[in-house]
Amino acid sequence: MSDTRGFIPDPPIRARDYRIGCIGAGMIMAECHLAAYRQAGFPVVAIASRTKSKAEAVARRWDIPVVHDTPEALIGDETVDIVDLAFPPDQQPALIRKALATPHIKAILAQKPLALSLEEAIALRDEAARAGKILSVNQNMRYDQSMRVLKQVLDRGDLGDVVMATIEMRAIPHWQAFLEGYDRLTLANMSVHHLDVLRFLFGDPEEITTVSRVDPRTAFAHKDGITVSTMKFPGNVLAVSMEDVWAGPREEGFDSDNYINWRVEGTAGVAKGTIGWPHGQPSTLSYASRHATDGKWVTPSWETMWFPQAFVGVMEQLQYAIKSGEAPALSVADNVKTMALVEAGYRSMASGRAVKLSEISIHS
């Protein structure tokens, strides 16, 4: 049994009452969404994808009763309450709009990035509000167990006033094939996890400076391969997020040491940990606090992982929003602020300067 020392690394399930229709049959749906939903007992009633045979294979694996010919047909299925999207960001907005216009659909879970541009994300936010529908965005790193426990440590004041925070990624993501056609790579598709979770921890940043270079391993044309972003948050909190997607040679006989580490330093304590995703292990957290641990390091533990268990929390918060009438924890309005931070990062890369978030308008 894990010793969580009174922390709650995985949120309780408060609702599992709404029927889910899944659109997409790739890795993230087959290995993460559906694995999490099976564990949580969330009802999945239908699936569709761009290729019906792939949807059929995933349906057999996860005992999904209905396979639709097209994503549009699934949205029209009146047994579906929630549309769960795992689709490329250039094709996702059209399906979101279809679902917003469909009376029986109660809510939509979209992937991040929500769209290819901040302007499109703002438009989707406003269209969802006009339709009176819940649109949530799958920023699943907020449900990584180490990030949730860190948030609890911060909220209790165990670290005092935060001084400095870092996320250091030296790991190799699997870039989906559809990214080859876009002009934005790491900042929009990998760094977005880290930038969003820093917002979750510290609030909305005041400015960002981002620098980048190409990644030697990524064969298709791109500008932002390896990225480093420095941010200033309220309270004079300084944060650095580094996405080194090269991480050294990766070949037979080469002993690679991929990892994602994080650290938060405060006036009364320090917390540090790892994100377990690159190795398929639970994330970790250790912290020392002057007043909470007498300056000694303590290490809460848990057995769940970012992939797939964090996806339970993502869908649970959406189900609970329908049930309670409250805004979802991962609301589209909040996600537009993360999209604005990504946009500011690209503007910083292009201009070679710090960009204040006040320069980026998110008003329609």
Structural domain includes residue 243: yes
Structural domain includes residue 358: no
State the pTM of this model: 0.97
Do 154 and 134 lie in one domain? The reply is no
Residue 115 to residue 100: CA distance in whole angstroms: 16
82 in helix, strand or coil? strand
Do 323 and 192 lie in one domain? The reply is no
354 in helix, strand or coil? coil
Do 133 and 145 lie in one domain? The reply is no
**CATH number of the structural domain spanning residue 282:** 3.30.360.10
Structural domain includes residue 364: no
Do 226 and 92 lie in one domain? The reply is no
Residue 232 to residue 104: CA distance in whole angstroms: 43
Confidence (pLDDT) at 256: 83
Do 35 and 57 lie in one domain? The reply is yes
Do 162 and 303 lie in one domain? The reply is yes
**CATH number of the structural domain spanning residue 83:** 3.40.50.720
Find the DSSP H helices in 169-219.
186-189, 191-202
Structural domain includes residue 360: no
Structural domain includes residue 292: yes
Block mean pLDDT (10 aa), the chain, length 364: 86 97 97 98 98 98 98 98 96 98 98 95 98 98 98 98 98 92 95 98 98 96 97 98 95 89 98 95 98 97 96 98 98 98 98 98 90
Do 64 and 54 lie in one domain? The reply is yes
Structural domain includes residue 13: no
Residue 281, Cα to own-chain centre: how many angstroms? 18
Residue 232 to residue 165: CA distance in whole angstroms: 10
Do 154 and 67 lie in one domain? The reply is no
Structural domain includes residue 354: no
Do 94 and 162 lie in one domain? The reply is no
Do 148 and 239 lie in one domain? The reply is yes
Tokens 């390896």 correspond to: 226
Structural domain includes residue 204: yes
Do 91 and 130 lie in one domain? The reply is yes
Do 154 and 284 lie in one domain? The reply is yes
Question: What range does the domain containing 286 cover?
Answer: 141-307+340-349
Residue 118 to residue 283: CA distance in whole angstroms: 31
Domain total in the chain: 2
